[in-house]
Amino acid sequence: MNRLLPVNCIEDILPEYRHTPIGLLLEFHNLKRPFATYTEAQLLVGMCMDNRKHLHIPENFSYIIRSGGANLRYSEFKVSYAISVGGIKHIALIGHNNCGMVNLHSRKDEFISGLVGTAGWTPERAEEHFTNFAPMFEIGNEIEFVVTEAKRLRVKYPKITVAPLFYHVETNRLSIVEE
């Protein structure tokens, strides 16, 4: 995890993110910067759907798209909407440790039995569902994925600043991922 740059003071924020909505996100969340009042979103946050994560940010500060592993591949229309209609010029892509989308195959039996027991699916239907969709949502390594996804989004939206960040579940702190 030596690619993770902790943010404990304003000087820890990389110069390309200082004085931007990404820098403000880091200041609000990690440094407890007093909240300002916002009437329009300043950035788009793409983050995992994991319930253990909660950002400390002001109301109306950000659009937030939550998806497994912070994978925005299947949310691109929403990203485009935030940029085109919402005027967003900055995206914070936040991965986190202990993500359930890593090594999905190891959870196959749990996934199938959960759909059978909780949702009333047949084992065959649940297994087919897992087999069809797990490869689309497997992210491999959390840090590598957030960097790769940030690069992919930069190619798709070349005028948008995309920052790969990392959320530490145990400490509720954000770090910058060094690329």
Residues flagged as binding site for Zn(2+): 96, 99
User: What secondary structure, in 3-state letters, does 56-79 show?
Assistant: CCCCCCEEEEECHHHCCHHHHHHH
| Spatial strand order in the sheet of 161-168 | 4-6, 173-177, 161-168, 90-96, 43-47, 62-66
Asked if 91 contacts 153 with a C-beta cutoff of 8 angstroms, the reply is yes
CA angle at 166 for the pair 164 and 167, rounded to the nearest 5°: 145
Helices (H), the chain: 21-31, 76-84, 108-114, 123-137, 142-156
* Rounded Cα gap, residues 4 and 24, in angstroms: 18
- The binding site comprises 96, 99
